[in-house]
């Protein structure tokens, strides 16, 4: 590969992008940019529109409405082979009768690159993915992880300015996925290519991405850095889809929230225009206090332990609140774990700075909490 590691990826611009299949709208008027050299992940559940969006960028799916451009040049009606885009699929799509080296060389032959140059480029690409010694093998002689590395080498061998990846690690076991995530992150840093990556795996999105676009029902719910989305979700959907969240449900009246008969405060988020709300806290930001005595804290909610689950590096405690709802508390195994048992009375406490107020009704749009945060005070009813 080139020794010049400066970002050379292309920008991608989508404006009012729509894809309809008959009466079904798969992608609903999205606006989205990928910056040159960025790792942008499209995250969402099955059927949310993320893969359809990726396929419109690739040219595999026609655009119904809107405009799609790469480096300021419209590609809305351009065929895939004229877009200079690399693609990595979940199921490898390798030619079984060809060797590893021949698979990687294939796109270079399609571009009429000379034989000696092809050999150098193939060797460089295989070394980059750690398979320089396996060029003569056939795909069937490789493990699933090795086959996915071959697919990645084939996609980047001709230095495309955009690389699209559609659930590339979905068929692999967790340990191998974790290893390849780090490899993909390293390769992206080395190449400076613009990566657009589709996944439904929230942990994968957090590990890999510069920014994440969270999709649901054909629309983008929120765009931001992994830390922005995790710390400042702008909707209950984003809070629950990207990581775990504990909800203290309540009602909003005259700028005040009542939840479980307690006075709670939250300084993240903007008060939504609805009565039904929840104070949302990440489980690792909640402290658990055994016993009946109320601790001295701004936010304290009583409950009773349902169960605790040990994960090796952490423990989760499930607690039932007075209103019958349940919340999770997560404690690191490196800390001193609070001794609790099933049916024990406990108090849960959290800081106002770690809590957001979000609408619980899906049709209410909450202003972006990344750019706006106001205090919300909850009162007992």
- Domain for residue 161, yes or no? yes
Q: Say which range, 311-315, 335-339, 368-372, has the weakest mean pLDDT.
A: 368-372
Same-domain status, 50 and 197:
yes
- Domain for residue 197, yes or no? yes
Say whether 173 sits in a helix, a strand or coil: coil
DSSP assignment of 244-275 equals --EEEEEEEETTEEEBTTB--EE-BS---SSS
Question: What CATH number does residue 339 fall under?
Answer: 2.40.50.140
Percent of the chain with pLDDT over 90: 69
- Domain for residue 238, yes or no? no
Under a CB-based contact definition with an 8 Å cutoff, are residues 347 and 300 in contact? yes
Same-domain status, 284 and 189:
no
User: Do the strands 314-321 and 300-310 form a parallel or antiparallel pair, or are they unpaired?
Assistant: antiparallel
Same-domain status, 327 and 193:
no
CA distance 203 to 209: 10
pLDDT of residue 335: 65
Same-domain status, 259 and 320:
yes
Same-domain status, 177 and 309:
no
Domain that holds residue 134: 12-226
- Domain for residue 329, yes or no? yes
The two structure tokens encoding residue 222: 């929120």
- Domain for residue 291, yes or no? yes
Name residues whose C-beta falls within 8 Å of residue 56's C-beta, 6 or more positions apart in sequence.
14, 17, 19, 27, 62, 63, 68
pLDDT of residue 362: 65
Whether the per-residue pLDDT at 263 is higher than 80: the answer is: no
pLDDT of residue 262: 84
Say whether 286 sits in a helix, a strand or coil: coil
Query: What are the pLDDT digits (tens) for 217-238?
Result: 999 999 999 999 999 999 999 9
Whether the per-residue pLDDT at 188 is higher than 60: the answer is: yes
- 160, 193, 226 - which closes a domain: 226
Task: Place 70 in a pLDDT band, splitting at 50, 70 and 90.
Answer: very high
Q: Please tell me the total number of residues recorded for the chain in this structure.
A: 381
Burial of 350 (0-12, 13-18, 19+ CB in 10 A): buried
Task: Place 89 in a pLDDT band, splitting at 50, 70 and 90.
Answer: confident
On whether the pTM is more than 0.75, the answer is: yes
pLDDT of residue 273: 74
Same-domain status, 20 and 142:
yes
Same-domain status, 222 and 249:
no
Same-domain status, 286 and 155:
no
Question: What CATH number does residue 62 fall under?
Answer: 3.40.50.300
How many structural domains is the chain composed of? 2
Say whether 362 sits in a helix, a strand or coil: coil
- Domain for residue 261, yes or no? yes
């Amino acid at each position: 590969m080139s020794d010049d590691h400066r970002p050379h990826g292309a920008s991608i611009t989508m404006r009012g992008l729509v894809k309809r299949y008959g009466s079904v709208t798969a992608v609903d008027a999205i606006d989205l940019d990928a910056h040159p050299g960025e790792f942008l992940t499209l995250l969402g559940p099955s059927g949310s529109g993320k893969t359809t969006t990726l396929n419109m960028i690739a040219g595999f799916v026609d655009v119904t409405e809107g405009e799609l451009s790469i480096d300021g040049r419209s590609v809305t009606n351009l065929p895939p082979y004229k877009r200079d885009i690399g693609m990595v699929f979940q199921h490898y799509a390798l030619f079984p009768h060809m060797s590893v080296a021949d698979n990687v060389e294939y796109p270079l032959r399609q571009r009429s690159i000379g034989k000696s140059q092809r050999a150098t480029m193939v060797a460089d690409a295989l070394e980059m993915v750690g398979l320089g010694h396996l060029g003569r093998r056939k795909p069937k002689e490789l493990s699933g992880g090795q086959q996915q590395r071959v697919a990645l080498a084939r996609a980047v061998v001709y230095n495309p300015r955009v690389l699209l990846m559609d659930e590339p690690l979905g068929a692999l076991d967790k340990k191998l996925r974790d290893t390849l995530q780090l490899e993909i992150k390293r390769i992206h840093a080395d190449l400076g290519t613009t990566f657009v990556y589709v996944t439904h795996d929230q942990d994968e999105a957090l590990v890999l991405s510069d920014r994440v676009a969270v999709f649901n029902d054909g629309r983008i719910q929120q765009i931001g850095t992994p830390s922005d989305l995790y710390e400042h979700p702008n909707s209950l959907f984003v809070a629950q889809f990207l990581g775990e969240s504990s909800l203290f449900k309540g009602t909003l009246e005259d700028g005040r929230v009542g939840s479980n008969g307690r006075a709670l405060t939250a300084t993240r988020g903007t008060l939504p225009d609805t009565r039904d709300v929840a104070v949302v806290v990440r489980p690792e930001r909640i402290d658990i206090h055994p016993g009946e005595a109320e601790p001295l804290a701004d936010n304290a909610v009583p409950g009773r332990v349902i169960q605790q689950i040990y994960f090796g590096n952490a423990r989760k405690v499930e607690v039932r609140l007075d209103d019958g709802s349940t919340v999770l508390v997560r404690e690191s195994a490196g800390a001193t774990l609070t001794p609790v048992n099933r049916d024990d009375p406990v108090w849960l406490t959290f800081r106002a700075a770690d809590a957001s107020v979000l609408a619980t009704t899906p049709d209410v749009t909450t202003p972006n909490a990344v750019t706006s945060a106001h205090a919300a005070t909850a009162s007992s009813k």
